[in-house]
A and B are shown apart, each in its own frame.
Chain A
Amino acid sequence: MCLSIPAKIISIEGENALVSISGMRMNASLSLLSNAKPGDFVLIHSGFSIEIIDREEAEKTLEIVRHIRPIK
């Protein structure tokens, strides 16, 4: 129910964005966000963008896991 899908913003018109989900295009409201811009990845839930995905943080999380020392 809280399923939210990452999508890339293609273009913005007013409070609406044209987004791409793995190539499939749809409209999503931006009325719950303040600073989204084309090129951002956002989480789409029930027709609304609820957050911008922070790519730097995404990379940091992976970096933490990459540095886990292997078990010998």
Chain B
Amino acid sequence: MSKIEDILTRYRSGSHESLIPILQDVQVEDGYLSEEAVVRIGAFLGMSTTKIYGLATFYDQFRFAPAGRVHLRVCNGTTCFVNGSAPVIAAMKETLGVEPGQTTRDGRFSYELTACMGGCNEGPVVCVGETFHTHVRAEDIPEMITKLKVLADLK
């Protein structure tokens, strides 16, 4: 919680226009927006937590549960879709057992759907950290996850 207080010192209490920058800072610091953080920010800015939550859920960049130790980004852009990203997403859901934006119970994995990552001619694209997996097929997913488990357990 003290980290939040550090962030808040950089902003003026009650200035509603600081909301998004604060949310971004907190997300960078904590990896997600916790309930406590939202309540604290609300008190700091004099805003209802409902308003903050409503605004934050409008943007894809904010998450409300801690990300997994390995976080995957699956492209949901037009070209990847045409190249078959829908079965890939379905396989991801099936293998991990969670919806996009959620984290697996063991804390290893989370994934999100993103807009175009610029790999249109290599799609469907799945990005893990700095690594881009290209031409991903649904049947590749279980193996990919098994391999990544090792990485997750190292973290």
Answer yes or no: are A and B bound together in one complex.
no
